[in-house]
Structure 1
Amino acid sequence: MLDIGYALSRRFPDPPQTDYRTADVRTLRHDLFCGDIYLADTDTDRELSTAWGWVPVLDFAWALCDIVEELDRDPLGSRSPGPHHAALDFTESAELLRFTRRFGWVEITADWTPDGEEPLSFSHGALRREARDFLHDLVADLSDLHEDLAANPAVHVLTSRFPRVP
């Protein structure tokens, strides 16, 4: 089973003058909510995680949802042998989180892990569901911390673009 999570950084707090209600997309994606993320396979007790403290976690959630959709563009869907590739780059470094879809399964690897380490592997459906749940849970958590964020139009567009999957 896939678990996606985050921890906000205390070393990189949001600027105190931030108006979360009117923050633009660039600010939301790159300048706020820094911390670390992880993707874990709870069945095998393995995970890919960052420990840098500066990853914009909302941007990560947003990009992950985009990547899941990008991996699903083949009209054959889960019958497609692929491979279909996508990568999530961390803008402040050269590190990449790499996704490879074959048939209905997605393998996830990270540039910063040791060579030869087995990739995490999940069904595409599970990855889609968990990525969207992570996005919605993250937005709810951040809105609890910053009430005005819930009124930001860009956040409304984002959550409506990627609704939860039953």
Structure 2
Amino acid sequence: MPGNLSRRDTIDPVLDIGYALSARFPDPPQTDYRRADVRALRHDLFSGDVYLADTEKDHELSTAWGWVPVLDFAWALCDIVEQLDRDPAGSRAARPQRAELDFTESSDRLLFERRFGWVDIDAEWLPPSEPLLSFSHSELRREARDFLHDLIADLTDMHEDLGDNPAIWTLQARFPRLP
């Protein structure tokens, strides 16, 4: 890079968050999505795989296990983004703010570190030589919430009764889409 400019000064990475539901671990056919409790929604339903990708660098962190609770991932990601914003100095904070997303059925974790408004994301299951993903905190917040709402819309299209679940209403109200 020319001069003293860092990658962050010259390129705005584009974050893409996605998922694929697993055919190997389908939801039980007798599931009442309208009455499913938070534990079932977060841990027992909607298994699959997830990814976070920097589309500018064509680099992604993804799972390939098939059993990741996809709704829980979206929910936890939104929680983590808010947790990373607790420092009163906000994007001016020099002290790193850290959080982790652990996968319940595994010892693997996604590690998040925010400093000066940027969040680095690392996956423990990848070799240390793999580069980190790095996004502005505001982009991560916006994309995480969009992912959550898009996922809920997709799941509701597949299971109409899910749209009548009070836990889903609460989740959508807690993390509204951002402009």
TM-score, shorter chain, exceeding 0.5? yes
Corresponding residue for 1:58? Answer: 71
4+ runs of 1 displaced by more than 3 Å?
Answer: none
- Cα distance in 2 between the residues matched to 1:77 and 1:115: 29
SS in 1 for 2:121: strand
Corresponding residue for 2:175? Answer: 162
Corresponding residue for 1:13? Answer: 26
- Cα distance in 2 between the residues matched to 1:74 and 1:83: 10
Cα distance, 1:117 vs. partner? Answer: 1.6
SS in 1 for 2:129: coil
2:136 corresponds, among 104, 114, 123, to 123
Number of residues of Structure 1 aligned to a counterpart in Structure 2 = 166
Where do 5+ consecutive residues of structure 2 fail to align? Answer: 1-13
Percent of pairs with identical residues: 74
1:89 and 2:107 correspond: no
- Cα distance in 1 between the residues matched to 2:36 and 2:178: 27
- Cα distance in 2 between the residues matched to 1:52 and 1:123: 28
Cα distance, 1:143 vs. partner? Answer: 0.1
The Cα offsets for residues 36-89 of structure 1, whole Å up to 9 and x where unpaired, read as: 000000000000000000000000000000000000000000000121100000
- Cα distance in 1 between the residues matched to 2:25 and 2:103: 16
Cα distance, 1:136 vs. partner? Answer: 0.1
1:135 and 2:148 correspond: yes
1:148 and 2:140 correspond: no
Cα distance, 1:116 vs. partner? Answer: 2.3
The Cα offsets for residues 96-132 of structure 1, whole Å up to 9 and x where unpaired, read as: 0000000100000000111122100000000000000
Q: What is the TM-score with the length of structure 2 in the denominator?
A: 0.92
SS in 2 for 1:116: coil
SS in 2 for 1:13: coil
Corresponding residue for 1:35? Answer: 48
* Structure of higher CA gyration radius: 2
- Cα distance in 2 between the residues matched to 1:130 and 1:74: 21
SS in 2 for 1:158: helix
1:112 and 2:125 correspond: yes
Q: What is the TM-score with the length of structure 1 in the denominator?
A: 0.99
Where do 5+ consecutive residues of structure 1 fail to align? Answer: none
